[in-house]
Amino acid sequence: MRKTVIAGNWKMHMTCASAKEYMDTFIPLSKEFPSDRHIVVAPPFTAISTLASLLKGTQINISSQNVHWEIDGAFTAEISPPMLLEHNVRYAIVGHSEPRKYFSESDEQINLRARSAQASGLIPIVCVGESIEQRERGEAERVIRRQVEQGLEQTELSNLVIAYEPIWAIGTGKTCEANEANRICGLIRQWVGFPDLLIQYGGSVKPSNIDEIMSKSDIDGVLVGGASLDAKNFARIANYQIK
């Protein structure tokens, strides 16, 4: 049985004070979550240490929003695996569409980040997904396949998560239709050829659509942006029900 990973990506939101306030609400709610799901929050770097203390003894894991492939060095603005591991970080998001778009992250760099994360004991969450123009030109599958194949090169498939996030569904309120998201996740699993691969869907996931998304056979979890910023909403998402 594949495990389920429900992750909240806080992006560039939350100070230490607001992260603490959030957890004052979220930690008590998390006690009701079924134990079959892994809950992850990805705060900005500055709130990681605060969360590491607050989350001790809970079932909530911390992810970083990035990780560099070197252990240390002259890489201004980057963060390395040992810096994250020191604060009990377990996951690292790599290849999110925002750094791909704003900082021209390439599939090669994303692959280096994923491999470095794994080599140091972090679990990479490797994001892939097509733009609306690529979808309209009928190129979605080709683009996603290239991102998956290059991003996962020489990685350990049993120790990573893929997040399928169509760019046009991120932060727009337009969720990809659950059957279509499931179809793409199924294709990714087929291309990679590893039945136990963990695949999340991401893009405008919210309390009103989580139950339908999680009922799909090839979707093993979600990567949530906007809706994860509200503790009660994220708790509802983490507490999804399959009818």
Q: Among 61, 204, 209, 233, which residue interacts with ligand PGA (rule: CB under 6 A)?
A: 204
How far is the C-alpha of 57 from the C-alpha of 30, rounded, in Å? 12
Angle between the N-to-C axes of helices 140-151 and 178-192, in degrees from 0 to 180, rounded to the nearest 10: 40
Which residue matches tokens 């337009």? 174
Q: Does 225 bind ligand PGA (CB under 6 A)?
A: yes
96 is catalytic: yes
- Please state the closest distance from residue 53 (CB atom) to ligand PGA, in A: 25
Q: Does 9 bind ligand PGA (CB under 6 A)?
A: yes
CB count, 10 Å around CB of 119?
A: 13
Q: Which is nearer to ligand PGA, 42 or 48 (CB)?
A: 42
How far is the C-alpha of 209 from the C-alpha of 17, rounded, in Å? 30
Q: Among 92, 122, 181, 223, which residue interacts with ligand PGA (rule: CB under 6 A)?
A: 223
Amino acid at 64: S
Asked whether 240 and 230 are in contact (CB, 8 A), the reply is: no
Q: Which is nearer to ligand PGA, 43 or 225 (CB)?
A: 225
Near ligand PGA by CB under 6 A, which window of 17-25, 29-37, 58-66, 201-209?
201-209
How far is the C-alpha of 52 from the C-alpha of 145, rounded, in Å? 35
How far is the C-alpha of 197 from the C-alpha of 219, rounded, in Å? 10
How would you class 82 by CB atoms within 10 Å of its CB: exposed for 0-12, middle for 13-18, buried for 19 or more?
Answer: exposed
Q: Which is nearer to ligand PGA, 95 or 225 (CB)?
A: 225
Of 98, 96, 19, whose CA–CA distance to 60 is shortest?
19
- Please state the closest distance from residue 74 (CB atom) to ligand PGA, in A: 30
Q: Does 203 bind ligand PGA (CB under 6 A)?
A: yes
Which residue out of 165, 177, 180, 212 is catalytically annotated?
165
Q: Which is nearer to ligand PGA, 151 or 226 (CB)?
A: 226
165 is catalytic: yes
Q: Does 224 bind ligand PGA (CB under 6 A)?
A: yes
How far is the C-alpha of 122 from the C-alpha of 86, rounded, in Å? 12
For 57, phi then psi, to 5°, come to 80, 0
Near ligand PGA by CB under 6 A, which window of 17-25, 43-51, 144-152, 197-205?
197-205
Which residue out of 68, 96, 105, 130 is catalytically annotated?
96
Q: Does 8 bind ligand PGA (CB under 6 A)?
A: no
Q: Which is nearer to ligand PGA, 23 or 176 (CB)?
A: 176
Near ligand PGA by CB under 6 A, which window of 69-77, 135-143, 146-154, 200-208?
200-208
Amino acid at 23: M
Show which residues are catalytic: 96, 165
